[in-house]
Structure 1
Amino acid sequence: MGAAATTVRGSYARELSGFHLLQSRACAVTVIVLVLLGVVLDYAVYPDQMLRFALARVVTGLGVLAGLGLLYLPFGRRHVHAVTFVWLTFPQLMIAWMIHVTQGEASLFYAGIILTIFAVGTLFPVGYMYTLAFGMLTLLLYWLACVTRESGVRDHGQFLFHSTIILFAVAGSTVYTYYNERGRRQLFELKDELARKNEELESTNRNLADIKGQMLQQEKMAALGTLSAGLLHEVNNPVNFCMMAIDVAMEEPAAQASATLRECLADAKQGMQRVQYIVSDLKTFAYRNEETQDAAFLFERALDAAVRLVGHETKGIAIGRDIDGDMLVRGDEAAIIGVLINLLSNAALALRKEPNGAPRIVVGARPDGARVRVWVVDNGPGIPPEHLSRVFEPFFTTREVGQGLGLGLAICYSVVQRHGGLLSAESVPGQWTKFTFDLPRAGGER
């Protein structure tokens, strides 16, 4: 909570600094224009002083302009409050001097002092203490302008009245600045809270998308398990009968006398064996429980099952292996088979979509401490850089409409993450794509 509050205060301070810099620049331009336009008032009230007042206004305008230029430099941006306070005193010094050389407490220029005080509180509201300090400095300059005249203060009543009006202006401007500052802070806190709520909502939406993807995957696995359990009994029996019949037929004299017939029977037997392997692979999905989801298994056995199950998609594509001995890993074998199926299927789809010479997929595995690092690399068209950072996002897909939900890699990412690993992607467009993940070794380091 304390760290969050500190972050909010820091963000507010940065935003406020930028706001004050913008306001100070705008206020400086406004003051320069008003100071120069004041020659009209000089002509109307004190025409005999017009020339030297005009000169004073030009000098004051140049001083404010110098302060404005300083605000565009690094020093001015870092010390915006101090620079602004200095150039704001230039008009007050000018007005105080005009009061001093004209009628003192009877001079109409005291109204200009009040106008400047309100301008500081409204055009440049930097904080009530700042406004109060500026107001008291202005009151001091007014007193000095009146008291230091050669004739001194003549009308004490008028002097007290004008001083009181200036004090009222200081109080009103200070109170306004105080509540303006509070309102701005509350507005910023509301904006910050809204931004946090939006981030939480986005995070919740991402989590919901992940959960939806996982639920879809679980439903698919459950349906596959139910189907597999039924197939085990319905398919195994006729397959066994066919195998027995083929063995008997191969012993017949007619088969012994015909090479073509023996070859046909051998092909039929090989086909039946493939069916047996597929049914055996499906057992992994049919009989899953909590124990099998954290059991030791050979990685190559899982790879064999994945390769067989995507055989129809990888026809004509060479699948190489770079596996260092028997890799015994631990985890959910069915889920890891699912990851390998997805990666092999995606690679095969990319290779068929944009062939790049002789299509090839290589699956590798190497021990890495207590983990096993696995990679699947293909020599396909690669993934564009703008898509590479998004491949694991739920529902992101580059396939045509109706050919995929964009959940495969997102689910694979979650499965690997559940095993304490990380699934990552690398690619060089037009050359290759590589997916890498790691799994826990059974028994740790050996």
Structure 2
Amino acid sequence: MSTSQLQSGYQTELADFRVTFSRGGAYTAIVLVLLGVGLDYAQYPEWLTPFAAARFVVSLLIGGIVLMLNGDSGRRLAPWLTLSWLLLPQIMISWMIWQTDGVLSPYYMGLTLAIFASGIALPFGLWQNLVFGVLSCFFYLLACVFHPGGIASIGTMTVNLLLLLFAAAASAVYTFFNERVRFMLFRLKAEVSAKNTELEVINQRLLDIKGQLLQQEKMAAIGTLAAGLLHEVNNPVNFCLMAIEVAMEEPVAKTEAGIQECLVDARQGMQRIQHIVSDLKTFAYRKPGADAEVGTPFLFEKALDSAVRLVGHELRGVAVTRELPDDTLVLGDEAAIIGVLINLLSNAVLAMRKAGTPKPAIHVSVKWVDERLHVNVRDNGPGIADEHLARVFEPFFTTRDVGQGLGLGLSISYAVIERHGGLLFAESELGSWAAFSFDLSRAT
């Protein structure tokens, strides 16, 4: 944070601080002024009624100034409004000194108390405090000079004035150092806040890295499984296909429609197993560093077919429709895009099943816009709440039950599309639908 920004922030906080303390100090002054009736009764009972009236009027005036502290203008003028209500008791005390014993009046101590309080307790500026101290001395001097009995003791008045000036000087020093301490505390708070912000950024990056490592470990495990499936499943599947083809050529099979139909179904089942294993290989059995290879041409239509097949067990009972252009050749990492599609399809199915959506359906619409293929995956499920919509791409954010997911899928999918130069974003109407859209570059 620059020095100018620090000063600007400090002045803003100081303004609020001054208003709060001025209001609290004013309430304290009202209480003390009113409690002073006890002093009047003990020292000058003959003046009890006029002094009580003066105290009541001063309290009302201080209360009026407190009301002026509200609003922007009051916040801006807080130091001078504070000076104004502080001077009201000083004027009252000086009047009481003039009415009673002048230089010998014990009310002189009230002036000193207010001067010390202004420097120690109130967030005054240096100049406001000096002005307050000098005016307090001036009011005391006027009360003594114009007292009906004259100045009883020049020496006593001189000593009292000097003590008031000393109090004003000490109060000004307190104000100066209090101001420096407040600024140092604000600077330390600003530095701690900046460090906390940096730590939050670092923690977010660590979460992203952790999510990516978890995903890589998962992909490595699936890749190993896919490699094993290729070796262990392909040979018996090929053997079965050969046996089915031989059986279909037998005269009995050709003449019996039921046997022929069964053999056709068996062949299609074996071929589906081949497709699934091949899709699994494409999706997960990737070389190290493949994440960065986003310039390989592939047909998006085939990637979508692979994703639908790989989550076929989840899509049972869900109507999946698609709207595709004739040409879907794009540039990118086919396996990563299959992963994104699997995540979007799985999330849609889970949300619809959890909400008990009648006639669940997913529609995938694809179109070319300015040499980029725009993909939209939309379901007719419960939608996404507004407070969740802005957070769906945060790492580890999930609305699933504990143990049902880590909240990494959409975060990683977002990074994948971003790596392809596109943008993955969500739209929703709560209670009606949710849609996720992204775009890919055309293969030239």
TM-score (norm 1): 0.89
8 Å contact 1:427–1:433 — kept in the other structure?
Answer: yes
- Give secondary structure in 1 for the equivalent of 2:23: helix
- Give secondary structure in 2 for the equivalent of 1:396: coil
Counterpart in the other structure of 2:237: 239
- Give secondary structure in 2 for the equivalent of 1:191: helix
**How far 1:84 moved relative to its partner?**
1.7
8 Å contact 2:418–2:424 — kept in the other structure?
Answer: yes
**How far 1:181 moved relative to its partner?**
2.4
Counterpart in the other structure of 1:313: 314
Counterpart in the other structure of 1:366: 367
Counterpart in the other structure of 2:226: 228
User: Counterpart amino acid of 1:422?
Assistant: L
Tell me, in whole angstroms, the C-alpha distance in 1 between the residues paired with 2:293 and 2:274: 22
User: Counterpart amino acid of 2:131?
Assistant: A
User: Counterpart amino acid of 2:397?
Assistant: F
Deviations 1:179-233 (A, max 9, x none): 2222233333333333333333333333222211111111111222233334334
Tell me, in whole angstroms, the C-alpha distance in 2 between the residues paired with 1:400 and 1:100: 80
Tell me, in whole angstroms, the C-alpha distance in 2 between the residues paired with 1:421 and 1:126: 56
- Give secondary structure in 2 for the equivalent of 1:56: helix
Deviations 1:253-311 (A, max 9, x none): 12211112211221122122212222332332324454744322221121111111111
User: Counterpart amino acid of 2:245?
Assistant: D
Tell me, in whole angstroms, the C-alpha distance in 1 between the residues paired with 2:167 and 2:244: 110
Q: Structure 1: which 5+ residue stretches go unaligned? A: none
In the TM superposition, 1:365-404 aligns within 5 A as 365-404=366-405
User: Counterpart amino acid of 1:207?
Assistant: R
Counterpart in the other structure of 1:431: 432
Sort the Cα spacing of 1:230 and 1:51 in 2 relative to 1 into closer, same or farther, 3 A: closer
**1:335 maps to 2:336:** yes
Sort the Cα spacing of 1:419 and 1:126 in 2 relative to 1 into closer, same or farther, 3 A: farther
8 Å contact 1:425–1:433 — kept in the other structure?
Answer: yes
8 Å contact 1:24–1:124 — kept in the other structure?
Answer: yes
**1:60 maps to 2:61:** no
- Give secondary structure in 1 for the equivalent of 2:11: helix
**How far 1:74 moved relative to its partner?**
5.0
Deviations 1:79-132 (A, max 9, x none): 222222122211112222333344443332221110110121233232333212
- Give secondary structure in 2 for the equivalent of 1:294: coil
Counterpart in the other structure of 2:162: 164
**1:275 maps to 2:276:** no
**How far 1:387 moved relative to its partner?**
3.5
Greater Cα shift, 91-100 or 301-310: 91-100
Residue from 3, 21, 35 that aligns with 2:19: 21
How many matched pairs? 441
Tell me, in whole angstroms, the C-alpha distance in 1 between the residues paired with 2:442 and 2:259: 48
The CA RMSD over aligned residues, in Å, is 2.6
- Give secondary structure in 1 for the equivalent of 2:298: strand
User: Counterpart amino acid of 1:238?
Assistant: P
**How far 1:362 moved relative to its partner?**
0.8
8 Å contact 2:79–2:125 — kept in the other structure?
Answer: no
Residue from 90, 96, 107 that aligns with 2:88: 90
**How far 1:48 moved relative to its partner?**
4.4
**1:218 maps to 2:205:** no
**1:252 maps to 2:250:** yes
Tell me, in whole angstroms, the C-alpha distance in 2 between the residues paired with 1:36 and 1:379: 71
**How far 1:357 moved relative to its partner?**
2.9
**How far 1:51 moved relative to its partner?**
4.1
Tell me, in whole angstroms, the C-alpha distance in 1 between the residues paired with 2:153 and 2:74: 43
Tell me, in whole angstroms, the C-alpha distance in 2 between the residues paired with 1:327 and 1:9: 58
Tell me, in whole angstroms, the C-alpha distance in 2 between the residues paired with 1:349 and 1:102: 88
Query: Identity of aligned pairs, percent?
Result: 56
8 Å contact 1:292–1:333 — kept in the other structure?
Answer: no
User: Counterpart amino acid of 2:168?
Assistant: V
Tell me, in whole angstroms, the C-alpha distance in 2 between the residues paired with 1:386 and 1:82: 45
Sort the Cα spacing of 1:359 and 1:73 in 2 relative to 1 into closer, same or farther, 3 A: closer
**How far 1:6 moved relative to its partner?**
4.3
Tell me, in whole angstroms, the C-alpha distance in 1 between the residues paired with 2:286 and 2:26: 79
Greater Cα shift, 31-40 or 205-214: 31-40
Counterpart in the other structure of 1:197: 195
Deviations 1:380-409 (A, max 9, x none): 233344443333333333333333222222
Counterpart in the other structure of 1:140: 138
Greater Cα shift, 149-158 or 136-145: 149-158
8 Å contact 1:125–1:131 — kept in the other structure?
Answer: no
User: Counterpart amino acid of 1:208?
Assistant: L
User: Counterpart amino acid of 1:58?
Assistant: F
8 Å contact 1:423–1:436 — kept in the other structure?
Answer: yes
Greater Cα shift, 111-120 or 59-68: 59-68
User: Counterpart amino acid of 1:286?
Assistant: Y
8 Å contact 1:382–1:430 — kept in the other structure?
Answer: yes
Residue from 39, 42, 46 that aligns with 1:41: 39
Sort the Cα spacing of 1:299 and 1:86 in 2 relative to 1 into closer, same or farther, 3 A: same
Tell me, in whole angstroms, the C-alpha distance in 1 between the residues paired with 2:191 and 2:427: 38
Q: Structure 2: which 5+ residue stretches go unaligned? A: none
